Amino acid sequence: MKIKSLYLVNKQRFKSTITPYVLQTLAILLATFVLSLALSLLWVADKPFDTTFEKLKASHLLLLFDIEKHSEDELTQWFSNQKEVEFVGNSQPYTIITEPFLFKKNKLDVDIQITERTEKDISYDQLILFKGVKKNEPEIGEIWLPYHYEHNHGIALGDVLGIPANGGIYEVKVTAFVIDPHYLSNIFNPTRAWVAPGQLSFFLTTKDLKNRSIGIRLKQSEHLNTIYKRFIGVFDYSGIGLKFELFKSAYASFSKLLSLILLFLGVVILLITLLLIGTNIKTQMLSEIKQIGILKSLGFSKWNIIASYLFQSVVLLLAAVPIGLLLSNICLKLLMGSTLSQLGITNLSFNGSLIYATTAILISILVIIVSLVVSWKAGKMKPMIALRLPNIQSSNPIKKFRIAIEKGFPLTSWVSVHFIRTSFLASLVLAGSMLTTLFIILFSTTMYTSFDQLKENKSSWGFEESDFMLYRKSSVVLPLSHPELMEILKGHKKTAIEQIIPYHHISLNILNNESEKESVFGKVYSLDINNTGLKNLKGKHPVTKNEIALCIGTAKNLDKRVGDSVQVEIEGVKKTLMISGVYQDISAFGQGFRIQQQVVSSFNPLFEPSSYAIRAKTGIEPKKFQQQLLSELGETISIEEEITERASIMGLVSGLKTGFISISLLFIIPCLVLVSNDIVLQTKKNELVLSKLKTIGFTSLQLRAVIVQRVVILFSIALVIGLPICFLVVPFIANILATGIGIASFPLVISSYNVAIAICVLLLTIFPIGWFSSRKLQKIDPRKLVEV
């Protein structure tokens, strides 16, 4: 067979009905685009960091210490003598300002490590001047801020920041925004700002000038852990050691998360695309069955027929894949471009050809395999059978219509069901696609609802069920003891307080073995934890003075389970406790413990809780009640918002909710493409039947209803089958995704209202698209019957 024949066959196909091909091309394009973008992003996520870090010759280890505890000379000397070390930086004075800065008379609530820029060798630990006049270091009275402060806090060059210090405000002028290789990510808190050499003495007392930072650059970053372990073995080091990996993971974590989400999305789109192509070829085959018979009788071999479909797929691939890759490349450049230009990277060593080639080959192979498998049947078809086959399609529907009409069954519905039956595979694919979309939407909706309902479902997240937090202050002239405060609070139990949960945060050392101690921050409860509403993933709450419950992350770190014992150091005394339960707590990112007060009291009779989670009775306005308590108890207490109402948590939750809505919307689009494509194909495939129906009196409106009803019926089937499956699978996936934030059993909240809304939105989107796509039915011409 000549290539020309293949070309002519396919030309005729494309000419007769271009829409399905356009849709398939778009689907392949989308899959290529998303997959290659995801893989590229995953590949390059930490490249800017690595490149910048190398380019600026940044230190792999930053030591932050107090010179009254450690000698800077000793530390410098020790590191200089290590063969793995390339360079030991200068000792740079720094201070961390935790009080709010003043900026344009407003509170700028950020923590900043202000460091003097005093590098002895300017070829190491360099900075990139993102904005501002280039010079080696700031002048006295100036400050260089991280570049993201410009965008995040609306600070501009020339603005004045007031640093709170020494009972006054020391004003500094912002003269540059810099790229700091260690603090590239804006998630660092505190981040680092730079001032002139000697500047700290302008607003700190000499006593406060004791903090130093020393950078250590290694010849190879792989040696970092070895050398740090050696260092800890030699020095009783009580300072902080910030390692290369920390800076890198902080920078790349967000990009990697985005890449993984895109990758997941890309795989789903690819699957849908393959289904779409398969269905399309199948539909095409059925509609061209006569033509296949003719071609075969003309001498086309099995492989010629298969090749005609493969040729078609290759053409689609050729049309879509390069554009997809090109778009991906453009998008990657757009995404990374601003970052790279900010970082001053002009020659990022990213060779996308491998990723693009992999993506293209993967998608091409899969498309070809699907085309091959689906068209195999057509290839094998005997010419005579093929010529007869069209009769199979017309299984005397008219007769059945009459029966249906006689039975009072809606005729359009019956026809819709008939179309589902006659194009079972295509219907299956469409139902599957809608099921996938439904799954994503229900997943997003459920996650959205779960975060939205965090306040109503606190105990499952590890928070006490409370409306606000009350803290007992001991630094006043007439402080209240714990029993005294409890007595007063209990006085409100009849009228306003539903529950009081007294607890105290303490840190204790958990001994992993004789030499390793891990300091863990946890909670000591002064009432039976069973009454707090808090939950365990496994086991039970600690009750006796020999029991402890561990947060899931801590249990994993220690490789401990319920029933195991763990040795802890409480108030300097070693004690073995049995693990009674394992729980989850998002506020501690999976780390922590819960014990009863008696564990601590047995060592420290002075122990008293100072935090009280208060839940007001139904109908009590928490804000008003807080004011009442403040008025009654004065300075002996302070009151704070309950944790889920604090800006940081609310911001996080709001961001996650927006993310889930975006994901839902992103997934609806391919589904709609699929629906539209399917309707066009079905219209084409059933043109003969539809023409017949028109001849017996179906209006164009009814014909469109038939086609759209088919989609709706399939959607309903997907819903009936998919809904239970979704709710079985969603928790499983949610648990996997939430592991990173310390949640092993994601506290899913399924809101029937939200689910109904989501389903309605999907249906209401599909319906008009279906209706729009079926508009060609208005042009169905019964005269075609004559032609056929």
Partner 1 sequence: MKISIYRIVCLFVLVSPIKVSSQVPEELDSYLEHIFQNHVIPGFSVVVVKNDRIIYKRAFGKERLDKNKPFHTTTVSAIGSLTKSITAIAVMQLVEKGILSLDEPVVKYLPEFRTANKIMSDKVTVRMLLNNTAGLNADPPATMERSSIALAHLNTSLNKTFLTQEPGISYKYSNTDFSIAGLVINRVTGLSFEDYVSKNIYAPLKMTNSILGVDGHKKQNLLRGHYFGRQPLPANNAPFAISGEYVPAGSLAYATIEDLAHYLIALLNNGKFRERKILTKESVEQLFTPNISFPGLSKNDGGDGQIYRYGLGWMISNIDGREVIHHGGSTGTMSSFTMLDRKNKTATSLLFNLDLTFIDTHKYIPHYSIANNLLHIVNGEKPSSYGIPIRTDPIQNNFGLSSKERGRYLGEYRYSQGGLPWMNFGTSIKVFSNASKMLMAKVFRANDAVGEFKVDLVTPRVAVTRNIAAPEEIRFYNSPQGNINAIQWQGKLYEKRKEVDKLNLFAHDLKDSTTIYLPKNWKFEETEYGFKAHNDTIKSTIIGLLHENKNPLKSTFLEKYQIKSKGLTSLESISVMSWKKQSFEIQNKRLLTFFESVEASNKMLVLFNSQASQHTKILSDVVDTIIDGLSFPSIPLAD
Question: Which residues, in sequence order, are CB contacts of 652 under 8 Å at separation 6+?
Answer: none
In the bound complex, what is the minimum distance in angstroms from residue 609's beta carbon to partner 1?
14
In the bound complex, what is the minimum distance in angstroms from residue 505's beta carbon to partner 1?
14
Question: Which residues, in sequence order, are CB contacts of 72 under 8 Å at separation 6+?
Answer: 65, 91, 212, 214
Which residues, 120 to 149, sit near partner 1 by CB under 8 A? 139-141
In the bound complex, what is the minimum distance in angstroms from residue 235's beta carbon to partner 1?
10
What gap in Å lies between CA 546 and CA 560, rounded to an integer?
16
What gap in Å lies between CA 428 and CA 718, rounded to an integer?
9
Q: Give the chain's count of helices (H) and strands (E).
A: 25, 23
Q: According to CB under 8 A, which one of 12, 152, 201, 530 is a site residue for partner 1?
A: 201
Question: Parallel, antiparallel, or unpaired: how do β-strands 240-243 and 497-511 relate?
Answer: unpaired
204 contributes a contact to partner 1 by CB under 8 A: yes
In the bound complex, what is the minimum distance in angstroms from residue 640's beta carbon to partner 1?
9
Among residues 68 and 406, whose Cβ is nearest to partner 1?
68
What gap in Å lies between CA 355 and CA 61, rounded to an integer?
33
Q: According to CB under 8 A, which one of 158, 408, 572, 619 is a site residue for partner 1?
A: 572
Among residues 108 and 653, whose Cβ is nearest to partner 1?
108
Does residue 381 contact residue 293 with C-beta atoms inside 8 Å? Answer: yes
Among residues 325 and 520, whose Cβ is nearest to partner 1?
520
In the bound complex, what is the minimum distance in angstroms from residue 590's beta carbon to partner 1?
23
In the bound complex, what is the minimum distance in angstroms from residue 236's beta carbon to partner 1?
5
255 contributes a contact to partner 1 by CB under 8 A: no
Among residues 54 and 99, whose Cβ is nearest to partner 1?
99
In the bound complex, what is the minimum distance in angstroms from residue 324's beta carbon to partner 1?
53
Which residues, 83 to 112, sit near partner 1 by CB under 8 A? 90-93, 99-100, 102, 105-107
Q: According to CB under 8 A, which one of 341, 531, 544, 627 is a site residue for partner 1?
A: 627
240 contributes a contact to partner 1 by CB under 8 A: no
Q: Among 158-166, 360-368, 652-660, 759-767, which window interacts with partner 1 (CB under 8 A)?
A: 158-166
Question: In Å, how far are 136, 147, 154, 194, 350 from 143, measured between CA atoms?
Answer: 13, 12, 16, 6, 34
Q: According to CB under 8 A, which one of 158, 167, 408, 697 is a site residue for partner 1?
A: 167
Show the tokens assigned to 164: 């709170």
Q: According to CB under 8 A, which one of 129, 209, 362, 527 is a site residue for partner 1?
A: 209
Tell me, residue by residue from 449 to 488, as one string, x for binding to partner 1 by CB under 8 A and - for no binding.
--------------------------xxxx-xx--x---x
Does residue 581 contact residue 562 with C-beta atoms inside 8 Å? Answer: yes
What gap in Å lies between CA 377 and CA 135, rounded to an integer?
73
Tell me, residue by residue from 634 to 673, as one string, x for binding to partner 1 by CB under 8 A and - for no binding.
xxx--x----------------------------------
Which residues, 346 to 385, sit near partner 1 by CB under 8 A? none
What gap in Å lies between CA 632 and CA 626, rounded to an integer?
10
206 contributes a contact to partner 1 by CB under 8 A: yes
Nearest to 700 by CA among 779, 786, 782: 779
Q: E strand or H helix at 375, and its extent?
A: helix 353-380
Q: Residues 331-337: contacts with CB within 8 Å, 24+ apart?
A: 331/33, 331/37, 332/37, 332/40, 332/41, 332/44, 335/41, 336/44, 336/48
Calculate Rg over the CA atoms of the chain: 34
Q: According to CB under 8 A, which one of 2, 4, 68, 618 is a site residue for partner 1?
A: 68
Which residues, 512 to 531, sit near partner 1 by CB under 8 A? 517
Kindly write down the DSSP assignment for every residue of 232-283, as one continuous string: HHHS---SEEEEHHHHHHHHHHHHHHHHHHHHHHHHHHHHHHHHHHHHHHHH
In the bound complex, what is the minimum distance in angstroms from residue 157's beta carbon to partner 1?
19
